[in-house]
Chain A
């Protein structure tokens, strides 16, 4: 059971990451909404989807840092434009993804539930 949940989470993380790379940030709410819409009846996993989305975006940042991209320098300079210290700015992408992923996934779940009720 736990293994299935972990596999599911990893699948979502991979899906969000790939969708972001190839589709841009708009892919995240689409994937999250679709995942929520397709959630089994009665299973509320909006928060899990949100955490997966945040994790996916964090991994993409880590991947670039690992490839030698100066993520820290970008965070410091762009963060300063927003009046934020670099480390705090670095947290914004995963937090943004988490919140947006949760919101869209939850929205998908609720709409899915309504649709299913209507059909029933």
Chain B
């Protein structure tokens, strides 16, 4: 009994500590296990209450919100800013944790949730997105409508936080032992910054310069060409099939030492990147977005049709949140918004519909700077004089507020600088310009009220970054597309893929393309328009440099083939196209691979695994149906073939600049198939012989068959069916495995119209609009409206998405148009002082 007191003291103190503070990887257990207010409460608050009232400061009049049975809020407000306040409220109710974690990711403050995120925070702040978000916010005058709109949205978010019940606190906060942060209006710029980073930060600068360094300029120009090998541009060029362009295939040549010196600086400025495996562009995954529109002349109904299909990193909850907003006399718009941004980004109103794919233009350049003191510079050399650097202290804190690290980020007039040994490199990026922060918000806001494609073009003209292929259609039957964004005009050849001399303003951008020069088309003679991240303009029409990071043309070729083949397109056909299992890439590769195997067989008997591979590939219908084993056979083979061919790029070197080498794109591999004697087929590891295409393809086929057998048990095993072998799984925002979606088989494959990789990139929102006397919209996204993993609305759209189904998007004109059986929940947002 003498140990009773010490034992009680240890148990009580220990559990109180673990309960309050957590221990090691354990979160504060008290708040987690609490049977009433802990994680269980998140399930209690998972479903929408039948009715609810709440107050929002600054609301001009009461706002009626009705959640329909799909969980979509229909907001009926008297003014635009009241609608934004309501949007902030409902988005916070469904996506509060997402709002915070997305903002923190760009702001570089994730370490305040978990100190392990410090390296990521340092990287994000080095990129200057938080810095630029603050400058964009500061550039807005107090009476700027953009500022007022963002403040209104913040009113709504913060009103929800202030009034939420214990059960409303998202489970992630409970696990982290945190409370929600206050939402500041400038946070919207952080969110947009995240999109800018996702969609415009990467460019071909580094792989181009690294290839130049390793194999010479001719190889770099071929591997990362200014004119893609197969021309199927966004702006129609009058051709009925993809035109085969491209230069001859140069042999591996001698490297450029000057380029080698530039590689390290560009790599440092770009920051952490790939792990040496084939990347998306160079590899076989083939992710990317699609959109297309059909003119009345080619639709069955005689109405314009539009399909939107942006592909992004998929998470639960989704990056998108579906909403319908009505402000009588001002706007009536439905579609999806980003959680954290007022207004509808992609969708339709009563007159027009619009959607985007990423342009992928080169909007980042790198400059070698000369500084006064390499270790701690205060000035940089520019046009014969020292110019003071702008310095900014970046302080990183943990959840207790303790300082984890402090960085000094220095800026030239172009942008942030990064140090590499004794050298410094800066970069210029369109995402940093403070003048364009407001423009982005303004353009999205104005798009919500357009009535025609011409008004849409006018509304989006000031849009800056990330450049988007903006497709629109209207009730008058017009269809139009324009690649819109700030495209830099550079000195010299205009090519941005090099390290510029930072000591002179002569290296700076000279301006930007005029809007009228953007790739564009309106009501083309062919009767349809389509984009799939391919090269926007035929270089024979516009030879100026816009970038080279275009997606291979396979998806564009497939969309255009489907649209050319159907002169009476229906909305249901548009829906089917979105998960079309056909593949222009397979149509190109399979016959050529089979021919090369035949060629190898003529030279000598093929090994048994290669013969079985050949038979399986020949039997495949080149469609990525879920039950297809041929698709699995082909997709096991293709990455192996790419690795075998591009062995010169995949050096395994992790210490020198050669680690930055990135294999060429899939289109170059396609081109090589028609050049079987090219030196690129030679396996440099074998010094006594020179391999050619037939031999390497046969060897790879045999290896692929062995891999298939080992991994899936052979072609007759159900595990080898495409849907089972390459399922999709949508991860949770924090990659918490139990909150991820189940694995689902999908009818889609690399470079098909529903491209995806093995992880979590895919169709983030699919919609089809028909525009005639009225506008009808159907849509789906993977996941659900709620961010609460215990909600029935967390994953309720996944099956429809996986099966390629769409749901009608309901656009009631007034609350009174909504029958009770279609309303899941009513919310009345009260203005201060009661209804007015």
Contacts and interface: CB of A to CB of B under 8 A. Distances in A.
Q: Chain B's interface: helix, strand, loop or mixed, by majority?
A: helix
Contact of A77 (B29, B32, B37, B789): B789
B12 A64 contact: no
B8 A25 contact: no
Contacts of B37: 20-21, 24-25
Nearest to A92: B33
B33 A77 contact: no
Nearest to B18: A96
A60 interface: yes
A49 B413 CA distance: 68
A120 interface: no
A71 to B, nearest CB: 6
Nearest to B11: A103
A103 B19 CA distance: 13
Interface string A71-108: 10110111011100000000011001001101110110
A94 B737 CA distance: 26
Contacts of B46: 70
Given A93-B35, A110-B5, 12 more contacts: A20-B35, A33-B12, A58-B35, A64-B40, A74-B40, A74-B43, A78-B32, A78-B175, A93-B33, A93-B38, A96-B15, A96-B29
B35 A60 contact: yes
B36 A103 contact: no
Given A25-B30, A106-B4, A100 B12 contact: yes
B16 A73 contact: no
B40 A21 contact: no
Contacts, number: 111
Contacts of A29: 12, 16
A39 to B, nearest CB: 13
Nearest to A32: B12
Nearest to A60: B35
A111 to B, nearest CB: 9
16 contacts: A20-B35, A20-B36, A25-B34, A26-B19, A26-B30, A61-B35, A67-B44, A69-B44, A73-B790, A77-B738, A77-B739, A77-B790, A92-B33, A93-B35, A103-B7, A106-B8
Interface in B727-751: 736-739
Given A20-B34, A106-B4, A69 B43 contact: yes
A61 B34 CA distance: 9
A67 B167 CA distance: 14
Interface of B: 4-5, 7-13, 15-16, 19-20, 26, 29-40, 42-44, 46, 171, 175, 736-739, 789-790
Contacts of A110: 4-5, 8
Interface residues of A, number: 36
Q: Which 10 A-B pairs have the closest CB atoms?
A: A103-B12, A103-B11, A106-B8, A60-B35, A80-B738, A25-B30, A25-B34, A77-B738, A93-B33, A100-B15
A106 B43 contact: no
Contacts of A80: 737-738
B322 to A, nearest CB: 24
Contact of B34 (A71, A93, A102): A93
B8 A78 contact: no
A104 B10 CA distance: 10
A83 B8 CA distance: 28
B790 A74 contact: yes
A48 B38 CA distance: 24
Contacts of B15: 96, 99-100, 103
B320 to A, nearest CB: 23
A94 B290 CA distance: 53
B5 A106 contact: yes
B791 to A, nearest CB: 10
Contacts of B40: 61, 64, 69, 71, 74
B32 to A, nearest CB: 7
B796 to A, nearest CB: 15
Contacts of A82: 26
B36 to A, nearest CB: 5
B43 A73 contact: yes
A23 B39 CA distance: 16
Contacts of A58: 35
A106 B168 CA distance: 36
Contact of A102 (B11, B26, B36, B44): B11
A33 B8 CA distance: 11
A10 to B, nearest CB: 18
A81 B33 CA distance: 13
Contacts of A100: 11-12, 15-16, 19
Nearest to A50: B11
B166 to A, nearest CB: 8
A20 B39 CA distance: 14
Interface centre among A20, A24, A74 (most CB of B within 10 A): A74
Contact of A81 (B4, B9, B43, B175): B175
A68 B7 CA distance: 39
A81 B19 contact: no
Contacts of A106: 4-5, 7-8, 12
Nearest to B19: A25
Contacts of A92: 33
Contacts of B7: 103, 106
